[in-house]
Chain A
Amino acid sequence: MSATTVVTVSWRRQARDPYFIAGISIYLAFLLIAVFADQIAPNAPKDILFLDNGSLANALPPSAQFPLGTTTSGCDIFSQLVHGSQSALIVGISAAFVVVSVGTLVGLLAGYFGGFVDAALMRIADIALGIPLLPFVIVLAAFLGPTTWNVVLAMSLLLWPNSARIIRAQVLSLRERAYIEAARTAGSGHFRILFHHIAPNILPLALLFGSIAIGWAILTEASVSFLGFADPDTTTWGFMLQDAYVSQALSRGLYNWFVPPGICIVLMVSAGFFISRSYEQFLFPRLRD
């Protein structure tokens, strides 16, 4: 007769889940590459390189000296790829951090207090959702300059509503739980309930959004770069794709140029997806009979 909801806080089982391992491994790999980029990459990403015989090292196929070949301007593709991981992680992590923090805070306040606070916050969220991302980035870049940080800023301003909404929904359901009422009868004030009781139960969901948000941020940055609005001073994977496109790499058959950055982007986004997939069992505990 008794219904038991068991939240299995079982990190050990989590850690053994293949999806989780895959996702974490990808992140760790790229993290290492980014941290040791200078050591791993033989050249600076924008350096124009020459062969021993003095000619421009352009459009070379993969070789021992240039593991992924060179671009049509004579840059080492492998070095670009390695350095690209730095921007990818910086952009991804910082954007994800802001989006999740803002989204979680808004979701908590809107869901818990309801009424006017909820209405006001959700209308702001609606406005943010209504603005298309890429045009906004472009406009912002036009006003503030096309730097990577402006891209992060634009994403932070527009991408938090999704997580806010879902967290708000979760808070709405948690708010009615008996142990929250118990806290109230035990004399706990609003903020104690919010941050001591509700927030810890929201955290897994927030982290879930975090892992997905990293991938989305990278993808968005790549799109912006591809459209040519990226920071010209930093090398990102999106920039590489744009460069390849502009240099007609496809028709020239220079697959070694644009396929690697594409794969890297896919890997990063997938990693986020894998981790979120492994979270499912943790987030939606089964009713034990």
Chain B
Amino acid sequence: MPLLLKRKTEKAAAPLVPAWHPNFRNFQRLPDTKAVRTSFFLNGIAIVVTISLLLVLAFQEYSLVVLNRQITEAQEQIDRNQRPSTQAVALYKTFQVEEKKILELDAFVKTNLPFSDLLLELGRTLPNRLAFQGVSSRDNGVIVRGVVRGSGDRASGEVSAYVDRLRKDSNFSAVFETISQTSLARDPQSGRMAFELFMKFKGAPAPAKK
């Protein structure tokens, strides 16, 4: 009660402007009109700050409890899965050894086009007036040598048409990047026009220039 009903001091209650008549009020005996004391606010603020700090601490501790629970669960899961996982890893290593053999075989037998298939395809597309003299297959492509009947200009047209046909053929275009005529000259022995084609495999390096 003394805190809440604190009286104003006489000095504090004295008017700033000089009164026009003497002030006979006895401030000590006047009732205190201040309903809420300053200490009430100070106490309130202190309590609020304390509660706030308590909440922060409680939240921190709660987070810690949750984290510890999650750590425990994760550890339980680790303990449960550790052994089967180790076994799976060991099994996978043996799997890799077996897989490596298969991959090595795959790399070994991988080919652009089996030579027997190439011969069949060349035979299928060969025009009547052309004959093959030889076929060579290397890592970068295939060289086809042949002769063509007829005069020079006609033979040239026949070979060009054959090259176009090979380029348009889906079986050849799937395997070969370029198909080009590398030579056309008269064979002095047979009197026929001898031609040479080079069919470059897809992704193969360009042939060395002669």
* Genuine A/B complex: no
A interface with B by C-beta (< 8 Å) = none
Residues of B within 8 A of A (CB): none
